[in-house]
Structure 1
């Protein structure tokens, strides 16, 4: 079964799009479209202070496997220290760790900053782990006092989070912890507190959850050591990581290919500014194949209708497109839009280019004039039509805790068949990768456990996306839905993608015009999609089942070369590119075809505010997708 390709039917009558269209069309005619999110190109990582409960109750041996709560906490904190990015600023504060007596005044002042909030270099890591190993649990539970102190640890400015782990309620109030949380919020401090109730009794949960709710943080219950490790990992990922855009810095031309930089196989990092398209030059022989993939990155997700297009052709073409042209459109939620194409469809040689010089254009229907710069990853690959041997080996699949999803295509975690489990926060969208050969079939199933008090919304659901070897996304299956909508349901909810049938050699587009039968690296992305803020940060368990069936055959097709940049984890040297100083932000000129884009149709007053208008919009989007496919 070949799921329906996105650029033919992805814009058909989809429940999620229809709901979004009704809301969009309800706006007054002529109203300005919503502004694109203004996000920095390299989103700032939060400074985080971990506040750990070392009160006497942590000595109880009920954390699973005969372990004490203290032992489980040590293991979880050590794991965080090991995994913290070198540039991440992490501090550690404990309470109840030094005073074992009964004097309330002394016990309620028992809070110490074990580690200052600072970058986790090698020396800091070793010192931190040594200190954690010596922890003892002896005293009171002064949560409110410790929260005040943690806010001081983090300083008065910047993006900051406190992660509190407690197995019970405050035994030292006043000050009541929730009142302290309100106090911090009233001061205008940009500080959120995430809370883990570790085997916390029902009597303590209301207090702990209040701390998270008041500050805009997340609350989750952890019932054993494994859950504590997973949940703590999830909360720290939330503070540290978004999509990690990587590549060799490049500045594409804004005025055509004449002055564009020459790009060779590899991954590059550029940016969209002010609605301007990007141009690059590329050299390849007529008998070679070209792959171009582009990924636009936003921290908070895109407006529905945002479009990114890649096109390529001889440099002397007025608008390069005779080699390849593909596009993808955002339906909301996801913080990436990605698309890609390969030239030479059906084994035909590309149109000759003078001096083998071609032009690549990344069309920008994502940002507008005046918007902040937005990162764009550009992946370039070239293949000879004749098969050739390659010494590149795919990475070894990971299992268990090491199979946590990554935060970019390059950082996608390699996995194989089986079930992979972790926790994620609502709004988080991790990536995994699987390697597929001719003769194999891929089926992916994601499942999440939604708590009974989940703040439901009409468009909330489980989104599961598969990207092919060209980094182009598609619908999961023939039901044509983008997500499994919750529709008020809680408990275990699943979504299945596939099977994808790999039947063609690597250099072709195969029987599926979108290339979902071509071998190579496929990417899987899962998230609990919720466009509002009420559910952001809620921690939910995720299971990812990967099934690879069929008998693999040798791939005798061309092998694309990506310069060793693509499909690998980012290295420390792959820094993010800063905004171009003095970049001119003006409206890009539009052709007649671009004037007929879904964004322009969305802004037309006809049918605004009616269900009939929404249907008309969906039809227009479908027509536009078909037209773009034919003109490519």
Structure 2
């Protein structure tokens, strides 16, 4: 399973035609330099990036030499500040002089990516991708570029090629579109420096700013509890295969409380009716459920389905397990036989009197540019009450986290400004989702919709979630039986989605306003769950390289955290799993759950 940010190699056309002065007052070469320099400047610190060019060194007419003119400028590795400065200097010196060996360059780029996968560094284990920028047809075939694309696809390594046609004539566009279609990539046109910069930025942003599923690798049993691995408090990364459920053993005394949360991450939007379940209890025939059971169902194009539950307090409220060893089941009603494996995060926590004394540790809230959302529960950006603004690309789904205590009330309002030239579509909309400390999604408001469809409208749109009265999960007077009133960390996810791809990559401004009112209850009897042995760390900074972009998380798993802090501090090195959240998926209706006894 690929992990970490996507490994991307940019392949840039520097053939003689790039000297044409028709790119909005610039030569095509100058426009390309501007766009590539911007990518280098804004690349996240942990995002693997390589650069290859063709047609850059041989100005003659000998076809053999001209068609071998392809060079690796920068291998596919993460960029520190010295590397950025070096590559930008090289880009500034580019000249466009030669032939157009697209097919040869694609083969060499695939080799570059393969070499990066065996380099032994955790930052170069994500899925491979080539982004090709060309202004014309291959002048060196054979090999025909589309046949090379088929070769790469047949290798079975998941390599896709995205293509940007820059001032491309219709005859060349057919060839370039074929490369993208055969490999499962995308094709876009660019006519000037601004559109080239925007299109390249969208492609890189799409691959790097995705849901980063993290956890210690584990292989759950597909055949029930008997042969299942034992999991202790912490976060794990597994995967759904076929239509098989996953089973794990867990140790829990009757005086302890257990939390189990499961998050499934799709590379394509979930179909209506997809279902994920978590349950736990003494092992036996069928589904273990005496301790807890929760499920979440997709009513549309959800990218992430997440649910979680906790056992009730007190030894008299549950069935004890032999030797205190119980069974966890993560039910899979999502994938089918023949489907690609799907990453699943499993979070396991224990609460008892010893963890209660540990106390909660929460990260310092961020403001301004540092408050840009992260891209998973684990990298959710900590914020406090107030308003926060940023811009997101259509299809991105950033996460924030806010701490709420018993006795307080939470209200979340999200806003987005849709420009007049936004593509008209019946399926585009604005979504705000709030998850509680168990990673359960809430019903945002009384109309039970998780998304407001634009329906061709433009202008300002708002979604208001809450207010929720935060009590305690075990408060007899609790008004909410589904756990939306649990004190702790609440996770906020915002998204502008376009499942039909028409608006994908368009950047729009959003606002997020969080209101936390009321006085925290004293004393707070909320249970404190323990989620791992490593020292607690705050989430990775959002401005990892000083430009506000997000790198891969690198913090270890946390120590004992408060009820609301099970995942905000929890991360493992970037090499331990990251999965792609496909840009554009969205759930049009609220994800609903039922609580079974």
TM-score over 0.5 (shorter chain): yes
1:83 to 45, 64, 67: 45
What is the SS of the residue equivalent to 1:378?
A: strand
Name the counterpart of 2:550: none
Q: 1:244 to 1:217 in 2, by over 3 A?
A: same
Q: Distance in 2 between matches of 1:208 and 1:84?
A: 35
Tell me: CA distance 1:83–1:544, structure 2 relative to 1, closer, same or farther (3 Å): farther
Note if contact 1:92-1:116 (Cα within 8 Å) is conserved in structure 2: yes
Deviation at 1:450, TM superposition (A): 5.5
Would you say the 8 A contact 2:355–2:530 is kept in 1?
no
2:88 matched residue in structure 1 = 132
Q: Distance in 1 between matches of 2:33 and 2:22?
A: 5
| Alignment-derived partner of residue 591 in structure 1 | none
Which runs of 5 or more residues in structure 1 are unaligned? 1-39, 63-67, 100-107, 198-202, 579-620
Structural mapping, 1:387-466, within 5 Å = 388-390=356-358, 392-416=360-384, 417-426=386-395, 428-438=396-406, 439-447=408-416, 449=418, 452=421, 454=423, 456=425, 458-466=426-434
Tell me: CA distance 1:43–1:92, structure 2 relative to 1, closer, same or farther (3 Å).
Answer: same
Query: 1:221-236 to 2 correspondence within 5 Å?
Result: 234-236=202-204
1:120 to 72, 78, 95: 78
Change (3 A) 1:69 1:50: closer
SS in structure 2 at match of 1:285: coil
Q: Tell me, in whole angstroms, the C-alpha distance in 2 between the residues paired with 1:231 and 1:404.
A: 21
Of stretches 363-372 and 70-79 in structure 1, the one that deviates more from structure 2 is 70-79
Structure 2 SS opposite 1:296: strand
Residue from 301, 305, 316 that aligns with 1:337 = 305
Instruction: State the secondary structure of the residue aligned to 1:78.
Output: helix
Higher relative contact order (CA closer than 8 Å, sequence separation 6+): 1
1:341 CA displacement: 0.8
- Give CA deviations for 1:181-235 in whole Å, capped at 9, x if unaligned: xx845764665446599xxxxx99999999997846365999999x999976543
Query: d(CA) in 1 for partners of 2:86 and 2:105?
Result: 21
- Match 2:468 to one of 495, 501, 506: 501
Question: Cα distance, 1:517 vs. partner?
Answer: 1.6
- Give the 5 Å matches for 1:339-378: 339-344=307-312, 349-354=316-321, 355-378=323-346
In 2, distance between residues paired with 1:403 and 1:185?
A: 43
CA 1:413/1:207 → structure 2, altered by over 3 Å: closer, same or farther? farther
Corresponding residue number in structure 2 for 1:237:
205
Q: What is the CA-CA distance between 1:430 and the residue it aligns to?
A: 3.0
Q: Aligned pair in 2 of structure 1 residues 263, 160: CA closer, same or farther (>3 Å)? A: closer
Deviations 1:314-343 (A, max 9, x none): 345764222211100122322221100112
Cα distance, 1:537 vs. partner?
4.0
In structure 2, the CA distance between the partners of 1:386 and 1:94, relative to structure 1 (3 Å rule), is same
After superposition, residues 299-314 of structure 1 pair within 5 angstroms as 299-314=267-282
Q: CA deviation at 1:310?
A: 0.9
Instruction: Supply the distance in 2 between the matched residues of 1:483 and 1:311 (Cα, whole angstroms).
Output: 28
Q: TM-score, normalised by structure 1?
A: 0.66
Output the CA distance in 2 between the equivalents of 1:220 and 1:393. Answer: 49
Backbone CA RMSD of aligned residues = 5.0
Change (3 A) 1:236 1:212: farther
Does residue 539 (structure 1) correspond to residue 495 (structure 2)? The answer is no
Distance 1:543 1:320 in 2: 43
> Match for residue 47 of structure 1?
8
445-454 or 69-78, larger mean C-alpha shift: 69-78
Partner of 1:154: 109
Aligned-partner SS, 1:568? coil
Structure with a larger share of its residues in helix: 1
Mapping of residues 552-567 of structure 1, within 5 Å: 552-553=519-520, 555-563=524-532, 565=557, 566-567=567-568
Number of residue pairs matched by the alignment: 511
Question: Measured at CA, do residues 420 and 95 of structure 1 come closer, stay the same or move farther in structure 2, by a change above 3 Å?
Answer: farther
Q: Aligned equivalents of 1:367 and 1:399: distance in 2?
A: 39
Quick one: structure 1 residues 398 and 219, their matched pair in 2 at CA, closer, same or farther if it must change by over 3 Å?
farther
CA 1:317–1:47 in structure 2 vs 1: closer, same or farther (change >3 Å)? same
Q: CA deviation at 1:361?
A: 1.7
Deviation at 1:309, TM superposition (A): 0.9
Residue number in structure 1 paired with 2:551 = none
Say if 1:422 and 1:542, in contact at 8 Å, map to a contact too: yes
1:220/1:469 CA distance change after superposition, 3 Å = farther
Indicate the residue corresponding to 1:275 in structure 2. 243
Contact 1:234 1:423 (C-alpha < 8 Å) held by counterparts:
no
Q: Contact 2:418–2:460 at 8 Å: present in 1 too? A: yes
* SS at 2:356 equivalent: coil
Q: Against the structure 1 CA distance between its residues 290 and 224, is the aligned structure 2 distance closer, same or farther, given a 3 Å change threshold?
A: farther
Quick one: distance in 2 between partners of 1:561 and 1:483?
Answer: 34
| From 494, 508, 526, the counterpart of 1:526 | 494
Match of 1:584 in 2: none
Stretches of structure 2 that go unaligned for 5 or more consecutive residues are: 60-65, 115-127, 154-159, 535-556, 558-566, 580-588
Q: 2:575, 2:186 → 1: CA distance?
A: 31
Alpha-carbon deviation of 1:482? Answer: 2.7
Give yes or no for the alignment of 1:485 onto 2:453.
yes
Residue 186 (structure 2) aligns with: 217
Instruction: Return the offset for 1:91.
Output: 1.4
Q: For residues 221 and 435 of structure 1, what CA distance do their matches in structure 2 show?
A: 44
| 328-337 or 407-416, which deviates more | 407-416
Once residues 446 and 220 of structure 1 are traced to their aligned partners in structure 2, the CA distance between those partners, rounded to angstroms, is: 30
- Choose the corresponding residue for 2:220, options 252, 257, 261: 252
Q: TM-score, normalised by structure 2?
A: 0.69
| Distance verdict in 2 for CA 1:46–1:558, change over 3 Å | same
Distance 1:72 1:188 in 2: 25
